[in-house]
Amino acid sequence: MRKAHICLALPALGLISLGACGGGPSAPNRSVQNLDANQIGVGASLSAACAGCHSHSSGAIVSLADYSEAHLIERLNWYKADVSGTTVMHRLARGYTEADIASIARHLSTQERPE
Amino acid sequence: MRFAVNRRQAMLTIAAGFSAGALASAQSNIKAKIVIIGGGFGGASAARALRTLLPVADITLVEANATYTACPFSNLVLGTDRPMAAQQFSYAALSASGIAVITTRAQDIDPAARKVSLEDGSELSFDRLILSPGIDIRWGALEGYDPAAAERLPHAWKAGPQTLLLRQQLDALENGETVLMTVPEAPYRCPPGPYERASMIAHFLKTRKPRSKLIVLDRKDSFSKMALFKEAWAEHYPDHLEWRGAQDDGGIIRIDAENREVFSDFGQESGAVINVIPPQKAGIIAERAGVTDTTGWCPINAISFESTLQPNIHVIGDATIAAPMPKSAFSASLQAKICAIAVANLLGGRTPEATILANTCYSYTAPDEAISIAGVYSNAGGTFSSIEKAGGVSPLAASKAVRADEAAQAAHWFQTITDEAFA
């Protein structure tokens, strides 16, 4: 059994606007308060790997900032199922369960976007 | 224009790791002292993640160098026109975000007293210490290879002056002279790194010293992405790269730096330029902290990254025993974030729990072609294990477009992972 269960409303990874350069506490994430804190913890940990490659600027690797939860779930499951795929995403997606993918998609899609 | 630049800086900051969002009040109030030693992909990323997770905690990063020189992509500095400046990063953004960055060397650690002593004689106390010390060379493990020998036969396995020294030697090579590279047994930093480097040096020779050749002398008989590298070498460098494994007497056991000779059990080779990739161990401060075992590396709990040998000291990155998770920049950056979550939980009186981690490593086989390996790992039970049927390498016999796509993705990855840590 693997069950990530971080009992905190953890801040998001990679996809929230700080609003200003220089860091420091900023406006709270608009969506997080409505979600179950444990679920956010799971999603934050699972999604940490995404920020290793996906930034705000789309280029050779796409930005996830504009993906909806449904679109993320669809894409990740497509990668998982496409046995003839050649990219790292095909190989990585196969390591995540449907529940993991749902957590990741929910987490990534509920972060604030840069305007 | 100025606005545009600041806007870009803001965007890069945003992209970095964790961002300030909704924080539980319990965390917001934690005023713990956290010291991080080592400002590479692990240490810098950990400092930033903790800065966001624990906004009022006292976070100090101790790093010996004012400028960081990244290892990933340094093989392109050796073999192509990539400038060294593209590898270098400052800590200005970390300082600006409220992380105390101290440019000095950590000399010693007293785990019981929870104190770090610095080179200038001052001390730092900590509630939690995160070590991200990278690697040190295991001097003497390869007979004849000591710090003086490394000035003649560079290892270039820590990017910086050693990288430039090796490049200068390649530039000075006479067309027709031989280049040697020796490769150690695992574990070492960046498992596919020697073979990417071999590709880049072979490219350099093919394009600039076409009568010269690189011979790779390896203590192993198989290596990361071997079939893919061999496929690329057969296509691109049939006359410029020869690889010899242990079975072909490739295992080097002694170095004569003075005469630029290397010796195996039965043979000897000499080269005008010799790149010795030596046996390695965790960065020396890990030994002084008492977190290394007899292997020279650091055993950890894979959920919290806390040392199994010393409480309140966490270790991340290349220094850890984390196999099957490799010693890579991607691993260090992700371990930093997972460790930061664990430290925030522990300081808040909560128990960190298991999750899923991943790794991706790209390697260039030519300036515009790359291959990759990926893995997905569980840390359940406090040890890492590979998730079955996930991960793996790029397909063999793929089209040029697949290789070119991965080369572009590698460049994008480097931009993202360095922004995460430093921008």
Could you tell me the strand order of the sheet in which B178-183 lies?
A: B241-244, B213-218, B178-183, B273-276
Q: In this complex, do B391 and A100 lie within 8 Å of one another by their Cβ atoms?
A: no
Nearest residue, CB atoms, B391 vs list A33, A53, A91: A91
Q: Does B349 touch chain A (CB under 8 A)?
A: no
Arithmetic mean of pLDDT, B271-294: 98
How would you list the strands of the sheet with B261-263, edge to edge?
Answer: B254-256, B261-263, B268-270
pTM: 0.90
B330–A45 C-beta distance less than 8 A: no
Q: What is the structure's pLDDT at B285?
A: 98
Cα–Cα distance measured from residue B353 to residue B229, given in angstroms and rounded to the nearest whole number: 38
What is the reported pLDDT for B307?
98
Contact at 8 Å (CB) between B62 and B106?
A: yes
Residues 361-400 of B with CB under 8 A from A: 372, 374-378, 380, 387, 389-392, 394-395, 398
CB B325 within 8 A of CB A49: no
Q: Which residues of chain A make contact with B374, given a CB cutoff of 8 A?
A: 88, 91-92
Average pLDDT, chain A: 72
Q: Locate A62 and state its tokens.
A: 């796409």
Q: Report whether B321 contacts B295 (CB < 8 A).
A: yes
| pLDDT for position A41 | 77
Instruction: Determine the pLDDT at residue A114.
Output: 56
Statement: residue A95 has pLDDT above 70:
yes
DSSP run (H or E) holding B393: strand B392-393
DSSP state of A34: G
Tokens 């400046």 sit on residue: B85
> In Å, what is the CA distance from B35 to each residue of A13, B127, B265, B268, B348?
22, 8, 46, 48, 17
pLDDT band at B27 (very low <50, low <70, confident <90, very high): low
A7:B350 CB<8 A? yes
How far apart (Å, rounded) are the C-alpha atoms in residues B193 and B405?
Answer: 20
Rounded to an integer, what distance in angstroms lies between the CA atom of residue B48 and that of residue B57?
Answer: 12
Give the up-direction half-sphere exposure of residue B364: CA atoms within 13 A in the CB hemisphere: 25
pLDDT at A113: 62
B148 — contact with chain A (CB < 8 Å)? no
SS3 A41: helix
Which among A8, A53, A114 has CB closest to B11? A114
- Give, as one character, the DSSP assignment of residue B140: T
Dihedral of alpha carbons B135, A95, A105, B340, sign? negative
- Mean pLDDT computed over B315-331: 98
Say if residues B337 and A13 touch (Cβ distance below 8 Å). Answer: yes
Test A94 with B376 for CB contact under 8 angstroms.
yes
Measured in residues, chain A has a length of: 115
* Spatial distance between the Cα atoms of B189 and B329, rounded to a whole number of angstroms: 9
* Alpha-carbon distances of B272 from B169, B249, B352, rounded to whole Å: 9, 20, 53
Give the A:B interface size as CB pairs under 8 Å: 211
Average pLDDT of chain B to the nearest whole number: 94
Cβ-based neighbours of B161, under 8 Å, separated by 6 or more? none
Cβ of residue A72 closer than 8 Å to a chain B Cβ = no
- Spatial CA neighbour of B61 closest among B80, B83, B42: B42
What pLDDT shows up at residue A6? 34
Q: In angstroms, how far is the first alpha carbon of chain A from the final one?
A: 40
Separation of alpha carbons B270 and B278, rounded Å: 17
Span B173-180, average pLDDT: 98
CA closest to B8 among chain A residues: A21
Q: If you measure CA to CA, which chain A residue comes closest to B26?
A: A8
pLDDT digits (tens, 9 = 90+) for B216-235: 999 999 999 999 999 999 99
CA distance to partner chain A, nearest, from residue B97 (Å): 5
Which of B26, B406, B416 lies closest to A52 in CB terms? B416
CA angle at B329 for the pair A77 and B49, rounded to the nearest 5°: 80
**Exposure string for B17-47, b = 16+ CB within 10 A, e = fewer:** bbbbbbbbeebeebebebbbbbbbbbbbbbb
Average pLDDT over residues A35-61: 80
Q: What is the SS3 assignment for A13?
A: strand
Closest Cβ opposite residue B330 in set A14, A26, A52: A52
The answer, for A81 touching chain B at a CB cutoff of 8 Å, is no
Distance CA B290, CA B54 (A): 27
Question: Which DSSP symbol is given to A10?
Answer: P
Residue B380 pLDDT > 70: yes
Alpha-carbon span A39 to B317, nearest angstrom: 27
pLDDT at B412: 98
Contact status of B19 with chain A (Cβ, < 8 Å): yes
> Closest chain A residue to B337 measured between Cα atoms?
A48
Look up residue B320 and give its DSSP letter.
B
Helices (H), B16-79: 25-28, 41-53, 74-79
Q: Give the three-state DSSP class for B221.
A: coil
- pLDDT at site A56: 87
A56 touches chain B (CB under 8 A): yes
Distance of CA B288 to the CA centre of its chain: 21
Angle in degrees, 0-180, between the axes of helices B329-347 and B400-422, rounded to the nearest 10: 40
- What's the angle, vertex CA B161, arms to CA B157 and CA B163, rounded to 5? 45
- In this structure, are residues B237 and B225 in contact, taking their beta carbons and an 8 Å threshold? no
Chain-centroid distance of CA A8 in Å reads 17
Chain A: residue whose CA lies nearest to B392: A91
Kindly report, residue by residue over B194-220, the tens digit of the pLDDT. Answer: 999 999 999 999 999 999 999 999 999
Confidence of residue A42 (pLDDT cuts 50, 70, 90): confident
Q: From the list B51, B378, B413, which residue is nearest A53 (CB)?
A: B413
pLDDT at B156 over 50: yes
Angle of helix B400-422 versus helix B41-53 axis, rounded to 10: 60
- Structure confidence at residue A111 (pLDDT): 78
Among A6, A12, A28, the residue with its CB nearest the CB of B353 is A6
B305 touches chain A (CB under 8 A): no
